[in-house]
Amino acid sequence: DQSNKLIYELLIKGLRSGAYKNIVILTGAGISVSAGIPDFRSPECGIYSKLKEYNLPQPEDVFTLDYFKQHPEAFYRFSKEFNKAGGYEATPTHYFIRLLQEKGLLRINMTQNIDNLEEKAGINADLFCQAHGSYNAAHCCKCDKIMDLDTFKQHVNEGTIYRCSDESCLGPVKPTVVFFGEQLNPDFDIKLPLVHSADLLLVIGTSLAVQPFNLLPLLVDEQTHSVLINLESTKKASGGSIHDFESGDAKLFIQGKCDDVIRQIVADCGWEAEFDKILPE
Ligand code: OAD
Ligand code: ZN
């Protein structure tokens, strides 16, 4: 409708002119779907629907600390399927974030993703935060002893459980992926204040179903332009009006596949040539 059109025009104008200098981007699994990594909650193809064959009491148990301590096999199996040989390539949406970095406009990209595609797209470590951790280090889930990451990966490949080297512990080893029941990556608390300074908030490819990450949009004030780019509304998953991108003077919900929406934004900004330069062949 008219007001959406107006906000979209303001968005493009603000991007083109460089008026937004502190762009904050919140991302989730939806931005990596075109790389070949399924999201979690999409009904047919999401990871949680595929986990049925694991026979878990609940699909989320695969990422739950108490469950892992007793039954680490499920997460090891998931990890083997998730960490495909050769890895995944970053998507146009990741490269759009990189483009904003090149323009000096990116304040911070807070992501829930654990796939390291931010790094692959060339986003600087100080400009993104992996709130839910990553497969970049490993430790014993019982005594926290640091364990060898490559050995963990070997065990994942072989389908065996890597256990704590302390004989009196023998806890299963897990990577620094954040499980339900654990604190977020400590980097989250360090970078969280940057969200306050947003002059544009872009939320891309997330259902906003998981706390505390889904509280981040609340740190941005009402007048700040806030845009949700997602296949579906986040209203129901986030349980109410706090993430309502569908009404309000400064809010906009653009429904669609994020890569398509991003390419449209890039075209409307006249940034196609620059964008093509940073996209891989
Ligand atoms: P979800 O699976 O909950 O949400 C992904 C969202 O992306 C959904 O709303 C989809 O409709 C949307 N989506 C899918 N493909 C898309 C596309 N091509 N373009 C645009 N949108 C698309 O994933 P997250 O919100 O990231 O945490 O989930 C949050 C956390 O829940 C994860 O980090 C993980 C999970 O449990 C932990 O494991 C700790
Ligand atoms: Zn231990």
Q: What is the pLDDT along the chain (281 residues), one digit of tens a residue?
A: 788 999 999 999 999 999 999 999 999 999 999 999 999 999 988 999 988 888 899 999 999 999 999 999 999 999 998 887 678 999 999 999 999 999 999 999 999 999 999 999 999 999 999 999 999 999 999 999 999 999 999 999 999 999 999 999 999 999 999 999 999 999 999 999 999 999 999 999 999 999 999 999 999 988 999 999 999 999 876 555 566 788 777 899 999 999 999 999 999 999 999 999 999 98
CA max distance for the chain: 67
Q: How far from the centroid of its chain's Cα atoms is residue 58's Cα? A: 22
- Cis bond before residue 212 (omega within 30° of 0): yes
Give the CB-side neighbour count of residue 260, counting CA atoms within 13 A.
7
Give the ligand at the shortest distance from the Cα of 130.
1
pLDDT of residue 237: 63
The minimum-distance atom of ligand 1 relative to the CA of 260 is 19
Count of beta carbons in the 10 Å neighbourhood of residue 78: 18
pLDDT of residue 34: 97
pLDDT of residue 239: 59
Residues with a catalytic annotation lie at: 132
Antiparallel, parallel or unpaired: β 146-147 and 138-140: antiparallel
pLDDT of residue 151: 98
Give the ligand at the shortest distance from the Cα of 236.
1
Centre of ligand 2 from the C-alpha of residue 167, in Å: 8
Centre of ligand 2 from the C-alpha of residue 168, in Å: 8
The minimum-distance atom of ligand 1 relative to the CA of 93 is 19
CB 88 within 8 A of CB 117: yes
CA nearest ligand 1 atom 14, residue: 30
Distance between CA atoms of residues 105 and 147, nearest Å: 38
Question: Environment class of residue 55 by beta-carbon count within 10 Å: exposed (0-12), middle (13-18) or buried (19+)?
Answer: exposed
CA nearest ligand 1 atom 6, residue: 206
Residues contacting 74, CB < 8 A, separation 6+: 51, 54, 56, 61, 62, 67, 68
pLDDT of residue 271: 98
Site residues for ligand 1, CB cut-off 6 Å:
28-30, 33-34, 39-42, 46, 63, 112, 132, 178, 205-207, 209-210, 230-232, 257-258
pLDDT of residue 132: 98
